[in-house]
Structure 1
Amino acid sequence: MTVSKHYINRDLSWLEFNLRVLEEAEDATTPLLERLLFLSIVSSNLDEFMSVRVAGLKDQLRAGYHNSDFTGYTPRGLLRRIMKRSGLMVRRQYKAYRELMRSLSREGAAIVSYADLNEEQAKEMTEYFQEIVYPVLTPMAVDSSRPFPLVHSKEIYLAVVLHPSLGDAKLEGPSFCAIVQVPSILPRTIRVTGRKNSRKQTYILLEDLIREQIGQLFSGYSTEAVHAFRLTRNSDLSLNEEGTEDLLQEIEKELRRRRRGFPVRLEIEKGMHEHARELLMEELDIQEDWLEIDGPLDLSFLSKFAASLPNADHLRYKPIDPVYPPEFEEADELMSVLREKDVLVYHPYESFEAVNDFICEAAEDPDVLAIKMTLYRVSGQSVLVQALVRAAESGKQVTVVVELKARFDEERNIAWARQLEKAGCHVVYGLVGLKTHAKITLVVRREQNELRRYVHVGTGNYNENTARLYTDAGLFTCHPDIGADASALFNEMTGYSTPHDWRSFAVAPAGLKPKLFDLIDREIAHAKEGRPAGIVAKMNSLSNQSMIDKLYEASQAGVSIDLIVRGVCCLRPGVEGLSENIRVISIVDRYLEHSRILAVSGGGEEEVYISSADWMTRNLSRRVELLCPVYDPSLRQMLLNLLRTNVRDNVKARLLQPSGSYVRVENGELPLRSQFVAADIPLWKTVAASASD
């Protein structure tokens, strides 16, 4: 294994990102319940990483693949390093958990063990167990007549070691094992009535209650040991899209198969009985990829727990209520505003209601003839989907490109697709071999003797829930070139149209990467000719080797490059002779930085684009992605203000080092926290604002 000096490994870079999330949980300046939320996110992130990325490496090993990737790692060498580093991260995570539980107790709330309950509280919990929990439990014995049951991925189970008994007397004979699933349909944390004259809120975990009452499930046996365990399985779908006649049915089949994906990681409670541990490792075919946990398994429950604590607003961030975009505030019709000017919105500071209203208005407008939209991840109670249903039922032509392969949202998207089809919408499941990741809506409206196209292009999903948690930009426009390209894009996705001669868009998989290369090459030419040359790009991830090489080429030509990359970054900045003109920062703060924005100097005539695509191989070559220019000068300036504010962040920004590690930005300037500055809508929507303001 020869580790590359030019590139950082993608999976190790992701671990560095999750470590930055963990640092937010450790940060004493972050409100206590927000720290619990970050700790929960660390667990959820690691689950997905294990079930997809680590599972992929294990797939390679099972197939006998041992070649190095472009960063110099073989699958076996990389897997060994991942498991070691993730194990260290988990130990650090549980250290933070214990510290946060102590801090929470001082604030009047505590998760305690069953042994800490007084007699009255124990009686209350016994009644709760018998009335609520016991009816939904299913003990599953493991012996010669009852084979080891299916263990579902990411669910908590109790491994129970039993011994035959008569009354209180243990009988001679071997020990037996059984497993009990902790039902995820019940709340993980249970509120216990407080002690008299105490204001402390007391909770116990569901698995602790079941552990204490486990004897009720196994009459005639004494309990020798009860310990929790949790299995993570391979969750990636393996689709034969070329050979299938019905993509929806094929995905449904794969979702059923996912439940039996091969084991990737086993988490066990510290001190687990040896007999139970050996049985699990043998039955689940786990040799070395198991981890002993000193604390409750699966800390993702902390997000719901933190959100549900009453009278604790002082332990949370002060709410920031999204404002309705001022351009639309006084308008009776949004489309009347767009006939006069383009409008840019930035979530979560500006309300997603503007997007909902745009679709609802189109659905109700008798002059609207057609609505076309892409859906990748949608909220559970989507206003948009209901509006599309109403539009189809009223006779409008409604076309929806639903991406059935959106990871972990497949089942929800299948349900939406069926509901839309039932209402009369034309539902397309995307293109064979490609995910449709572009975020775009086209509304065709009859106006006097012509048709006008109204378009919304976004950097994030049409999901009103995540729009309150993610930073994303959205452009409303009726620019004729953007409208024409939007029509052509939907024709490509739904029909047999050949690649279009785009007026404004750049579309992956064929045209986005060449467009990005062209923009970078133009900056290289500007630098060589002594004109202003610079690139500022914001994205979630940067891992495509040829894109990185092109940025290295630009750096060597003297182009100044600022990259704001929240997650994975395989580029090594600041390497002499290679990337000394490249600076990379990552911002991890209250909201998930999700927008994809690109600005190039243009030799003094700056150009700005918004996009759905990260600069990863999958986005550039295996997805339908979109890059859209922002033509309005005032809107370009707004996005430039945002980018420059991000670049100057010295509170929550971390600076990527050539080694692949990150350090906090310390530049001696007055503290600037970009997410809190962005919350001031009038500031970033003021065209006069500049980088020095």
Structure 2
Amino acid sequence: MDVDVRDHRYYLNRELSWLQFNRRVLQEAVDANNPLLEKLKFLAITSSNLDEFFMIRVAGLRHQKENGVKKRDIANMTPEEQLEGISDVCQKLVARQYRYLKVLLQELESEGLYFIHPDEASPEQKRWLEEYFEREIFPVVTPMAVDSSHPFPFLASKSLNLALLLERNERDMTQDEENDIDIKTAIVPVPSVLPRIIRLPDNKDIPGRHDFIFLEQVIRYYATRFFIGYDLLEARPFRLTRDADLYIDEEDAQDLVVEVERQLKKRQRGEAVRIEFEKGTSRFMRRFMTSEMNLEKEDMYEIDGPLDMTVFFSFCGIKGYDHLRYPEAHPHHPWSMIQLEKEGKTNIFDMIRQKDLMVHLPYESFDDSVVNFVAEAAADKDVLAIKQTLYRVSSSSPIIQALEKAAQNGKQVTVLMEVKARFDEANNILMARRLEKAGAHVIYGLVGLKTHSKCTLVIRREKDGIRRYVHVATGNYNASTAKLYTDLGIFTCNDHFGSDASAFFNLLSGYSDPPIWDSFIVAPINLRERCVELIDREISFALQGENARIVAKMNSLLDKEIIAKLYEASRAGVKIELIVRGICVLIPGIPGISDNITVRSLVGRFLEHSRVFWFENGGREEFYIGSADWMPRNLNDRVELMIPVKDAELCERLKKMVTLELNDNQKAHIMQSDGMWIKEVAPENKVGAQAEFQKIAEERDQEAEMTLAQKMEPYVPVFGSSKD
């Protein structure tokens, strides 16, 4: 039977799929297996995710709607229809989020942690609070009248503000003035330089209880002190979210860095796309809050609780409550390196010459592997050059420090710094200028493309000639996220990889035409074509009656051509198992279309970020890792890199890793044929992939320490010697 696998009925909308992902994150806030403060942190993550979603995705759709765009997406929805769908889902999602918060706040109270209103404070606490207000808050706050001579002020994106309705004191009025209604409006920004959550002195009458109060509640409580002669009729907190996307004309920009910096200054002043306000806010106040904004009803969110739950990120680190958090999980020494150290290898280059190495973050140490690799290269007298692509780096990056040292040591250092990495533009420009000052050659991205690949090339002079050492990874060279994201990286000095790496960097830095690649698979050159070829190969095996299987793990699955090819493979009998953390517009389990496809999403303590692809290949299994998801932007508009994993031992490790994730029955959400997700938690025979990976890394590290201790000869003191 002929079936059009490109029919829109077989695809979900991207934005609504992403909201389903954020709902999966939110679900962790009520997972009984998560400690209390970790549950609260998932509420904060959900809010942070929504902020970025509105600033980028919703803002983009609003632009399309305003410009009259009627083009339908992969699911046959217009921009206007998408905005309506987003509003409906988001309103319900936010309401659910605050219901969960109420439950968690009650659980915090059982631990002695209370969030109270100023009226609930004890007399001693009120005295302290008044002193705190006069000393710390009053001098910083800037009240702003709004009237004919004071226009509505510009309010930065994500800033918290109070809208106030004031009336002249009757006691200060003359008889004539009493006959006139004298209502005033004002805005009081809540200072971001002050702690949003204030801890009050403990109430001595209630031992074991600790009280906290929100800054905006304190400002509202003492609001009339900013407006002497006026009574407070209403005061409500509200928060705006603005368009934060950068619109960069790369073709006409004479200096890309200058253009990015110019656009960054506009980011906080983008058009408003959402307003959040406190439940119970009067209609008059709502009109006042939105008087200068082009917002519609669906852009307004009535919040039953404290605005902006990202405030709980800092609170979750409260001292003395480790029992309400996950046990500490430290990165451990990489297993690949432990094995070689047992054989007496200590130098990173000696190790890589011996065999390919693989590092599994965050369970294994980024510092011991990647940072050490670049740092040793910077200090090694035989290293001639270091070349690296950087997409996101931390503000105090050890990688940047090592590259600076390498340049200062006279080595040729070439870095492609992607200055268009969203929300990291300013930091990347700062890091790039540091490198330039140290003497490194910095390339600021390519016109029309974001460089998202993760690759380092070290050229070293050795006894038998020049040798190239290559590191390729699925995640960024960022020491901060390396402790939070699951990623994979491979070190090799294989000549084929070295040759491809040289050609890859020549492509980025010069005018070189793409070579015929031996091992590298590069977007936008041949990554899409190679992925299609690999799926087609499995289809051929299936049609020949052989076992055919694809296991693919990624962050997002959105590309229509790839999905259509997966549908074709499913119809041919290929078994397809997908692990997709975020967006997935493919629908599994559709009779005659995707019967052989399953989709699962793992949401847990660490953010799943690695991209791994496993093809059965007629019994000759092949594994690949890379930086790209199966999305149009990754395959068409970014410089991405995927490589085959050729070492048999590393392939076996990858196979065990992915199999464990496929068997996870604690943190896995399973996608249904209607596009919804169900979390399946097994009460027995529990398998939690992330917890198991952490356990494995700890056990290997302990085993290595025991082996080292056994090798060390014990010190036996010689009593009575002249040294005593």
- Could you say what the CA RMSD is over the residues aligned between the two structures, in angstroms? 1.8
Aligned length: 684
Cα separation, 2, equivalents of 1:55 and 1:3: 28
Give the match's secondary structure for 1:567: coil
Cα separation, 2, equivalents of 1:412 and 1:271: 40
Decide whether the 8 Å contact of 2:55 with 2:243 is kept in 1: yes
Decide whether the 8 Å contact of 2:363 with 2:697 is kept in 1: no
Cα separation, 2, equivalents of 1:136 and 1:188: 13
Which residue among 287, 300, 312 is the counterpart of 1:302?
Answer: 312
Amino acid at match of 1:563: L
Which residue number corresponds to residue 546 of structure 1? 561
Amino acid at match of 2:270: G
Q: Which moved more, 1:675-684 or 1:551-560?
A: 675-684
Cα separation, 1, equivalents of 2:686 and 2:62: 45
Write out per-residue CA displacement over residues 653-686 of structure 1, whole angstroms, 9 at most, x where no aligned residue: 1111111101123689722111112223369999
Q: Which moved more, 1:626-635 or 1:662-671?
A: 662-671
Which residue number corresponds to residue 48 of structure 1? 52
Structure 1 residue 365 corresponds to structure 2 residue 388: no
Structure 1 residue 284 corresponds to structure 2 residue 298: no
Q: How does 1:599-678 map to 2 (within 5 A)?
A: 599-665=614-680, 670-678=685-693
Which residue number corresponds to residue 530 of structure 2? 515
Give the match's secondary structure for 1:282: coil
Cα separation, 2, equivalents of 1:174 and 1:595: 61
Structure 1 residue 91 corresponds to structure 2 residue 121: no
Amino acid at match of 2:355: K
Q: How does 1:203-602 map to 2 (within 5 A)?
A: 203-288=212-297, 289-307=299-317, 309-329=318-338, 330=341, 331-353=345-367, 354-602=369-617
Amino acid at match of 2:183: S
Alpha-carbon distance, 1:138 to partner: 1.3
Which residue number corresponds to residue 78 of structure 1? 82
Cα separation, 1, equivalents of 2:697 and 2:260: 46
Q: Structure 1 residues 102, 630: CA separation in 2 closer, same or farther (over 3 Å shift)?
A: same
Amino acid at match of 1:231: L
Decide whether the 8 Å contact of 2:336 with 2:358 is kept in 1: no
Amino acid at match of 2:302: E
Decide whether the 8 Å contact of 2:161 with 2:190 is kept in 1: yes
Q: Which moved more, 1:316-325 or 1:561-570?
A: 316-325
Q: How does 1:26-45 map to 2 (within 5 A)?
A: 26-45=30-49
Decide whether the 8 Å contact of 2:336 with 2:359 is kept in 1: no
Decide whether the 8 Å contact of 1:543 with 1:568 is kept in 2: yes
Decide whether the 8 Å contact of 1:324 with 1:351 is kept in 2: yes
Q: Structure 1 residues 298, 668: CA separation in 2 closer, same or farther (over 3 Å shift)?
A: closer
Give the match's secondary structure for 2:48: helix
Amino acid at match of 1:4: H
Decide whether the 8 Å contact of 2:335 with 2:700 is kept in 1: no
Give the match's secondary structure for 1:471: strand
Amino acid at match of 2:364: E
Decide whether the 8 Å contact of 1:638 with 1:685 is kept in 2: no
Cα separation, 2, equivalents of 1:450 and 1:428: 28
Decide whether the 8 Å contact of 1:642 with 1:684 is kept in 2: no
Q: Which moved more, 1:266-275 or 1:185-194?
A: 266-275
Q: Structure 1 residues 570, 553: CA separation in 2 closer, same or farther (over 3 Å shift)?
A: same
Which residue number corresponds to residue 23 of structure 2? 19
Which residue number corresponds to residue 691 of structure 1? none
Give the match's secondary structure for 1:5: helix
Q: Which moved more, 1:123-132 or 1:324-333?
A: 324-333
Alpha-carbon distance, 1:446 to partner: 0.7
> Which protein is bigger by CA-based radius of gyration?
2
Identity %: 48
Cα separation, 2, equivalents of 1:109 and 1:590: 23
Q: Which moved more, 1:448-457 or 1:605-614?
A: 448-457
Structure 1 residue 6 corresponds to structure 2 residue 31: no
Alpha-carbon distance, 1:491 to partner: 0.9
Cα separation, 1, equivalents of 2:306 and 2:697: 45
Q: Which moved more, 1:132-141 or 1:366-375?
A: 132-141
Amino acid at match of 2:141: L
Give the match's secondary structure for 1:135: coil
Could you tell me which runs of 5 or more consecutive residues in structure 1 were left unpaired when the two chains were aligned: 687-693
Give the match's secondary structure for 2:275: strand
Decide whether the 8 Å contact of 1:641 with 1:684 is kept in 2: no
Write out per-residue CA displacement over residues 512-539 of structure 1, whole angstroms, 9 at most, x where no aligned residue: 1001011111111111122331110000
Cα separation, 2, equivalents of 1:428 and 1:410: 14
Which residue number corresponds to residue 189 of structure 1? 197
Q: Structure 1 residues 200, 668: CA separation in 2 closer, same or farther (over 3 Å shift)?
A: closer
Decide whether the 8 Å contact of 1:638 with 1:684 is kept in 2: no
Which residue number corresponds to residue 62 of structure 2? 58
Alpha-carbon distance, 1:177 to partner: 1.1
Alpha-carbon distance, 1:276 to partner: 2.5
Q: Structure 1 residues 421, 76: CA separation in 2 closer, same or farther (over 3 Å shift)?
A: same
Cα separation, 2, equivalents of 1:552 and 1:683: 41
Give the match's secondary structure for 1:292: strand
Which residue among 203, 206, 211 is the counterpart of 1:202?
Answer: 211
Decide whether the 8 Å contact of 1:537 with 1:562 is kept in 2: yes
Cα separation, 1, equivalents of 2:117 and 2:370: 47
Could you tell me which runs of 5 or more consecutive residues in structure 2 were left unpaired when the two chains were aligned: 1-5, 702-724
Write out per-residue CA displacement over residues 139-183 of structure 1, whole angstroms, 9 at most, x where no aligned residue: 121111121111111110011111222657795433111111111
Decide whether the 8 Å contact of 2:238 with 2:276 is kept in 1: yes
TM-score, length basis structure 2:
0.92
Write out per-residue CA displacement over residues 361-397 of structure 1, whole angstroms, 9 at most, x where no aligned residue: 1111111111111111111211110111111111111
Q: Which moved more, 1:310-319 or 1:89-98?
A: 310-319
Decide whether the 8 Å contact of 1:3 with 1:73 is kept in 2: no
Cα separation, 2, equivalents of 1:453 and 1:582: 41
Which residue number corresponds to residue 704 of structure 2? none
Cα separation, 2, equivalents of 1:500 and 1:343: 26
Which residue number corresponds to residue 689 of structure 1? none
Cα separation, 2, equivalents of 1:118 and 1:220: 28
Q: Which moved more, 1:354-363 or 1:325-334?
A: 325-334
